[in-house]
RNA sequence: GGGCCGGUAGCUCAGUUGGUUAGAGCGCACCCCUGAUAAGGGUGAGGUCGGAGGUUCAAAUCCUCCUCGGCCCA
């Protein structure tokens, strides 16, 4: 046999063979795969495949149709897609209809910007044309985002997404509004709302952002006390402090705190020029020092003439500093007790203008003081206003900086009236600004439409909308659980829902108000005429048709006012359950949804608007459970912003790494908290991806090219593993099937918990630890060197087949593209058949119940000890590989039922025998020229062992 | 400024009702293999569990304060 020592046995070894490349090239490959899904009509195929199955409805919250997809969209949609795909894999019918929010200010703003660029005045544009432009603008971004989401591998009904601007949707939104009107939950009120004088519109809370200012004005103003139960106070001056001088012309009262302590300070000791012509001032004791400081008065120079608590001030009246103007200013202003008064800043006395503050409005309303609507939409005082209104050339918008400055008209007039005690422009605080124009906003009282939150309603079983919503929250499942508290506390504390906007691009508040009585017209026939018209002609119907057409012949159009406000876009999106889930247009959907899934900011947004809309009209939430995710930060955990330049663009990541990498990232991080993304993290995700990819590559390489395992039958895209007789398998094979079953269980649990991090981790650790480092490593010799018909080798391949079919399905919801690539590599006919890995269902595994896994866990622990014991010999270069080691293990450490030969195979060593303690020596055996094992049956290095001798003989014979 | 949430190895994450030397995967270092090869295997080094107090026989786990970060609100 000496000639054999020179023979190269490489071609007698069964090495893995596959066309599946190690390097993924995802950015190049993915678009083609997505395209094929489109071509085969994946969504319809899935609906067909899951006909009559239990449904799982994830309702998409509509992103705003404005701009490219950003990382937040990517995370959100990958999570949604993972939910839909895992539920589908479990065999449920999980349709997904993506949607977009299309109305609203940001789009209007963009369209106006385009007009400005064309030097065209918006006021010259006919409203219908303007709305048409907005519609076109939104449609453009819907298409852009749609393509970007498809590129991300998101599956859904892309041929018919829902848009809030579809006429059918607009009509249904109006119908929902009418439901509120018909049940008496809608009212027109006057309330101070956040108002932007620049955009001339009321703003929602979400449209306002706070910026820190360092140069705000602050002034102290003296109001002379006319009458008071406290005799000493008469003739003295109450001092108020404010950062908004422009509200002084609309002052109607002062507020004090009942429990706050006040002092009357005597200024007579001061030199005359420091006294402002005033003898006494009234301020809170706690703020005395701060106030005197602003007034430039040394506290040692003043005496306290009177001291008392706020409640003593009841019944005190002051006069406005501009009393000499008469009219509005001639009325005495009362001092009122306000719960909101604190001694944190100011003077402890707060000037009240019901037009321009929430606290002010409420307190004044209690005392019968009404707002006067002095400030117009553009921020200037109205034409007939006696101070700084009309033709006063100094008239400006109230947010105009010079207007409020210490040398501006307000301060100058107050100074002249002897009422201005201090004025500067150096105050630091945060102040609300419009998120679009970045200009300052103000509180301004305007007529607005509201949905009442606390009125008990018959159709809600005598409960209020708030109570109904609180009950619905109690009935909802929250993932993670902390969301419940967050939503509940917001609903508990929120005010009535302000739903009107004075803008152009939106669903109209299509209502009639009787001019004489001011009452809302509630007539179902009229309402249905309105909705029907909108459903035919879009929202233009309301603006372009005459009142008479809606009112019908029985009513005189002259008697009714058509409301021209439009709806808050939150009302639009809050109605999606009505015009999407309940709509005939998407028969695959139903309501309520099993799940809404959005970022945690939507506790105040969509989760809440949907809840209120549905509770107000249907008495329950439109969802059974709510899943919220945190926000994506940069690599250091800091918020991403364009100005900081630390944004990560998912489109770029897809180009560089591929969509499967972003998906793997999104499903690995803890979405319940804020999480990070960055180069290092993506690199780590890429490593994890490669581990999974190589596991599939190994399986594809080891498994027969033609499907011999299936006895020649072509299983194709509906294929599953070949039937196997579990009882006849070697124990290692049965153990691995048991481990696979354990993995299966972990994965099912992770799906039930929406815990995708646990899902991916279980999958990766299984691939890495159980397969690569254990099972595949042990069976490498068997796969390469045993004869093709060897029962052990066949058993191994059978188990690899099971593993393949299970793992490719498990991976499919995560690595949507790679799983498809894996599947079509093994079953190329899938492509012609129009099949896909994504049409398959959760694997059914061979039953291996009753396995004694404890024995194997002990075995693996021992295996680790053996590896550790071998290491010193390798370090000292006594041996190089474990195959050269003869190992002794303590009898007591070996689980029952393993013989020495099995142990040597499992430990991948030359031999194993029992002894007192773990010991390792170098073997004297020779190395088999084919399998490279060092065995007693090998006569000399390079010769064959018994097993290889047989196999080579067989092969030579066949050749 | 207020409410809520969070800060465990370089990275992503586990750490059940407080209880033995705080774990995993990846990365890293070193080694082996060169017949999964820009792959595979082995060993190892990394953490004062954001910081400071406190409760307790015992705290990453409970309490207080501080700090950093985030969301929402003002």
Q: Quick one: pLDDT band at residue A194, thresholds 50, 70, 90?
A: confident
pLDDT value, residue A959: 77
Q: Quick one: pLDDT band at residue A92, thresholds 50, 70, 90?
A: very high
Count of helix runs (H) and strand runs (E) in chain A: 30, 31
In contact, A389 and A382? CB cutoff 8 Å: yes
The DSSP line for A603-672 is GTTHHHHHHHHHHHHHSS-SEEEEEEE--EE-TTSPBP-TTTT----HHHHHHHT-HHHHHHHHTTS-TT
pLDDT value, residue A706: 55
Q: Average pLDDT of chain A?
A: 90
CA dist A222 and A213 (Å) reads 25
Give the nucleotide with minimal C1' distance to the Cα of A669: B12
CA dist A217 and A222 (Å) reads 16
Determine if residue A945 is labeled as part of a ligand binding site: yes
Give the nucleotide with minimal C1' distance to the Cα of A690: B39
pLDDT value, residue A713: 44
Give the HSE-up count for residue A819: Cα atoms under 13 Å, Cβ half-sphere: 25
pLDDT value, residue A206: 59
CA dist A913 and A886 (Å) reads 8
Q: Give yes or no on whether A11-21+679-839 and A854-958 have one common fold.
A: yes
| pLDDT, tens digit, 9 for 90 and up, residues A226-252 | 888 888 878 888 999 888 888 888 899
Mean pLDDT, range A567-574, rounded to an integer = 94
A769 is near strand B: CB distance < 7 Å: yes
More confident residue, A341 or A73: A73
Kindly state the percentage of chain A with pLDDT values over 90.
Answer: 61
Which DSSP symbol is given to A827?
-
pLDDT value, residue A201: 78
Determine if residue A928 is labeled as part of a ligand binding site: yes
Residue whose Cα is closest to the C1' of B10:
A680
3-state secondary structure A490-551: HHHHCCCEECEECCCCCCECCCEEECCCCCECCCHHHHHHHHHHHHHHCCHHHHHCCHHHHH
Asked whether residue A714 carries a pLDDT value surpassing 50, the answer given is no
Give the nucleotide with minimal C1' distance to the Cα of A17: B36
CA triple A211-A217-A218, angle to 5 deg: 115
pLDDT value, residue A1: 46
pLDDT value, residue A205: 63
Asked whether residue A17 carries a pLDDT value surpassing 60, the answer given is yes
pLDDT value, residue A932: 94
Kindly state the percentage of chain A with pLDDT values over 70.
Answer: 97
3-state secondary structure of A696: helix
Highest mean pLDDT among A282-296, A409-423, A540-554: A540-554
Q: What are the residues whose beta carbons fall under 8 Å from the beta carbon of A526, sequence distance 6 or more?
A: A512, A550, A551, A552, A555
More confident residue, A403 or A716: A403
A861 is near strand B: CB distance < 7 Å: no
CA distances from A49 to A44, A165, A809, A874 (A): 9, 32, 16, 56
Asked whether residue A902 carries a pLDDT value surpassing 80, the answer given is yes
A899 is near strand B: CB distance < 7 Å: no
Asked whether residue A445 carries a pLDDT value surpassing 90, the answer given is no
Q: Quick one: pLDDT band at residue A600, thresholds 50, 70, 90?
A: very high
Asked whether residue A468 carries a pLDDT value surpassing 60, the answer given is yes
Mean pLDDT, range A256-263, rounded to an integer = 82
CA distances from A684 to A301, A347, A692, A697 (A): 70, 58, 13, 20
A568 upstream amide cis, omega within 30 of 0: no
Q: What are the residues whose beta carbons fall under 8 Å from the beta carbon of A453, sequence distance 6 or more?
A: A464, A465, A466, A494, A495, A496, A497, A612
A684 is near strand B: CB distance < 7 Å: yes
Chain A 449-508 residues in 7 Å CB range of strand B: 482, 485-486, 489-490
pLDDT value, residue A705: 65
Please state the domain extents for chain A: 11-21+679-839, 214-437, 854-958
pLDDT value, residue A716: 45
| pLDDT, tens digit, 9 for 90 and up, residues A767-777 | 999 999 999 99
CA dist A172 and A507 (Å) reads 10
Q: What is the CATH number of domain A854-958?
A: 1.10.730.20
Q: What are the residues whose beta carbons fall under 8 Å from the beta carbon of A425, sequence distance 6 or more?
A: A215, A216, A217, A218, A405, A406
In contact, A468 and A460? CB cutoff 8 Å: yes
Mean pLDDT, range A147-164, rounded to an integer = 97
Pairing of strands A349-352, A926-927: unpaired
Q: Quick one: pLDDT band at residue A372, thresholds 50, 70, 90?
A: confident
Q: What is the CATH number of domain A11-21+679-839?
A: 1.10.730.10
Determine if residue A102 is labeled as part of a ligand binding site: no
3-state secondary structure of A38: helix
Protein-covered nucleotides on strand B (Cβ within 7 A): 1, 3-6, 10-14, 24-27, 31-44, 69-74
Distance between the alpha carbon (CA) of A534 and the C1' atom of B17, Å? 59
The DSSP line for A366-390 is HTTPPP---B-TTSSBPTT-TTT-T
Chain A 6-25 residues in 7 Å CB range of strand B: 8-10, 13, 15-16, 22-23
Looking up tokens 């048409």, which residue turns up?
A132
In contact, A915 and A922? CB cutoff 8 Å: no
Left if phi > 0, otherwise alpha if psi is -120 to 50, otherwise beta: which for A551? alpha
Q: Quick one: pLDDT band at residue A816, thresholds 50, 70, 90?
A: very high
Mean pLDDT, range A569-578, rounded to an integer = 96
| pLDDT, tens digit, 9 for 90 and up, residues A136-148 | 999 999 999 999 9
Is the C-alpha dihedral spanning A410, A414, A416, A420 positive or negative?
negative
Is the C-alpha dihedral spanning A228, A232, A235, A239 positive or negative?
negative
More confident residue, A294 or A590: A590
Asked whether residue A712 carries a pLDDT value surpassing 70, the answer given is no
Q: Classify residue A49 as exposed, middle or buried by CB count within 10 Å of its CB (0-12, 13-18, 19+).
A: middle
Give the nucleotide with minimal C1' distance to the Cα of A755: B13
Q: Quick one: pLDDT band at residue A84, thresholds 50, 70, 90?
A: very high
Chain A 620-679 residues in 7 Å CB range of strand B: 630-631, 633, 637-639, 668-670, 673-676
Asked whether residue A460 carries a pLDDT value surpassing 60, the answer given is yes
pLDDT value, residue A503: 85
A927 is near strand B: CB distance < 7 Å: no
Mean pLDDT, range A621-630, rounded to an integer = 96
Choose the CATH number for A214-437 among 2.115.10.20, 3.10.20.580, 3.40.640.10, 3.90.740.10. Answer: 3.90.740.10
């Amino acid at each position: 046999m000496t000639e054999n020592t020179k023979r190269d046995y490489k071609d007698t070894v069964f090495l893995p063979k596959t066309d599946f490349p190690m390097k993924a090239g995802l950015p190049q490959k993915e678009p083609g795969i997505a395209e094929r899904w489109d071509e085969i009509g994946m969504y319809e195929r899935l609906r067909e495949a899951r006909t009559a199955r239990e449904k799982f409805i994830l309702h998409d919250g509509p992103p705003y149709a404005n701009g490219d997809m950003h990382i937040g969209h990517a995370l959100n949609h990958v999570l949604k897609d993972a939910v839909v795909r895992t539920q589908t894999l479990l065999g449920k019918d999980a349709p997904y209809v993506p949607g977009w929010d299309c109305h609203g200010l940001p789009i209007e703003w963009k369209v106006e910007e385009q007009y400005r660029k064309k030097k065209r005045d918006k006021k010259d544009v006919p409203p219908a044309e303007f709305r048409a432009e907005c519609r076109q603008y939104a449609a453009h971004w819907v298409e852009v985002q749609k393509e970007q989401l498809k590129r991300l591998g998101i599956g859904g009904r892309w041929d018919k997404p829902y848009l809030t601007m579809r006429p059918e949707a607009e009509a249904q939104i109006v119908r929902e509004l009418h439901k509120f009107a018909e049940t008496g939950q809608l009212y027109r009120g006057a309330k101070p709302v956040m108002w932007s004088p620049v955009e001339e519109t009321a703003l929602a809370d979400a449209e306002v952002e706070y910026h820190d200012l360092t140069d705000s004005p602050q002034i102290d103003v003296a109001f002379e006390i006319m009458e008071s139960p406290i005799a000493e106070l008469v003739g003295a001056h109450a001092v108020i402090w404010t950062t908004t001088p422009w509200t002084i012309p609309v002052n109607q009262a002062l507020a004090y705190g009942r429990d706050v302590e006040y002092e009357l300070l005597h200024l007579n000791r001061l030199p005359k020029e420091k006294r402002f012509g005033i003898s006494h001032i009234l301020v809170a004791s706690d703020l005395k020092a701060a106030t005197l400081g602003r007034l430039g008065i040394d506290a040692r120079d003043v005496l306290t003439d009177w001291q008392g608590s706020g409640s003593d001030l009841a019944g005190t009246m002051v006069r406005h500093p501009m009393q000499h103007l008469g009219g509005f200013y001639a009325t005495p202003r009362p001092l009122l007790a306000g719960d909101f008064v604190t001694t944190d800043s100011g003077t402890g006395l707060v000037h009240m203008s019901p037009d321009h503050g929430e606290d002010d409005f409420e307190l004044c309303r209690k005392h019968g003081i009404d707002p006067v609507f002095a400030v117009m939409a553009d921020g200037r005082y109205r034409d007939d206003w006696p101070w700084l209104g009309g033709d006063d050339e100094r008239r400006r918008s109230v947010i105009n900086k010079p207007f409020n400055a210490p040398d501006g008209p307000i301060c100058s007039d107050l100074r002249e009236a002897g009422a201005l005690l201090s004025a500067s422009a150096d105050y630091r605080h945060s102040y609300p600004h419009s998120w679009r124009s970045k200009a300052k906003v103000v509180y301004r009282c305007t007529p607005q439409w509201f949905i009442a939150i606390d009125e008990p309603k018959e159709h809600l079983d005598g409960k209020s909308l708030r109570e109904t919503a609180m009950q619905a929250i109690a009935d909802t499942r929250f993932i993670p659980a902390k969301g419940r508290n967050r939503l509940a506390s917001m609903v508990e504390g929120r005010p009535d829902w302000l739903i009107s906007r004075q803008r152009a691009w939106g669903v109209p508040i299509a209502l009639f108000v009787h001019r004489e009585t001011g009452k809302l017209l509630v007539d179902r026939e009229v309402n249905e005429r309105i909705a029907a018209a909108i459903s035919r002609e879009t929202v233009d119907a309301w603006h372009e048709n005459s009142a008479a057409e809606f009112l019908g012949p029985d009513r005189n159009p002259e008697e009714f006012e058509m409301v021209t406000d439009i709806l808050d876009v939150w009302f639009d999106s809050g109605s999606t359950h009505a015009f999407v889930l309940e709509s005939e247009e998407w028969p695959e959907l139903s309501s309520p949804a099993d799940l809404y899934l959005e970022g945690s900011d939507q506790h105040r947004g969509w989760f809440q608007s949907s809840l209120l809309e549905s509770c107000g009209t249907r008495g329950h939430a439109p969802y059974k459970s709510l899943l919220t995710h945190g926000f994506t930060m940069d690599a250091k955990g800091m918020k991403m912003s364009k100005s900081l330049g630390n944004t990560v663009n998912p489109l770029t990541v897809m180009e560089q790494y591929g969509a499967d990498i972003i998906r793997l990232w999104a499903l690995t991080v803890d979405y319940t908290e804020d999480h990070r993304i960055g180069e290092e993290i993506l690199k780590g995700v890429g490593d994890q991806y490669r581990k999974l990819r190589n596991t599939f590559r190994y399986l594809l390489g080891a498994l027969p090219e033609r499907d011999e395992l299936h006895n020649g039958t072509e299983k194709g895209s509906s294929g599953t593993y070949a039937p196997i007789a579990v009882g006849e398998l070697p124990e290692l094979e049965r153990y691995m099937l048991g481990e696979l079953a354990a993995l299966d269980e972990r994965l099912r649990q992770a799906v039930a918990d929406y815990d995708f991090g646990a899902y991916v981790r279980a999958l990766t650790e299984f691939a890495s630890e159980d397969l690569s480092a254990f099972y595949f490593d042990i069976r490498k010799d068997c796969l390469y060197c045993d004869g093709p018909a060897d029962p052990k080798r066949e058993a191994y391949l059978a188990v690899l087949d099971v593993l393949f079919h299970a793992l490719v399905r498990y991976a499919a919801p995560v690595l949507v593209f790679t799983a498809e690539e894996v599947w079509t590599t093994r079953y190329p006919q899938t492509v012609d058949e129009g099949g896909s890995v994504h049409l398959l269902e959760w694997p059914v595994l061979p039953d291996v119940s009753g396995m004694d896994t404890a024995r194997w866990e002990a075995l693996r622990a021992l295996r680790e000890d053996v590896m550790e014991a071998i290491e010193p010999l390798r370090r000292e270069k006594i041996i190089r590989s474990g195959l050269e080691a003869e190992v002794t293990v303590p009898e007591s450490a070996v689980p029952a039922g393993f013989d020495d030969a099995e142990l040597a195979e499992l430990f991948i060593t030359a031999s194993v025998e029992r002894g007192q303690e773990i010991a390792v020596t170098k073997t004297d055996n020779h190395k088999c020229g084919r399998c490279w094992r060092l065995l007693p049956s090998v006569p000399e290095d390079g010769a064959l062992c018994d097993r290889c001798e047989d196999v080579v003989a067989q092969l030579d014979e066949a050749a």
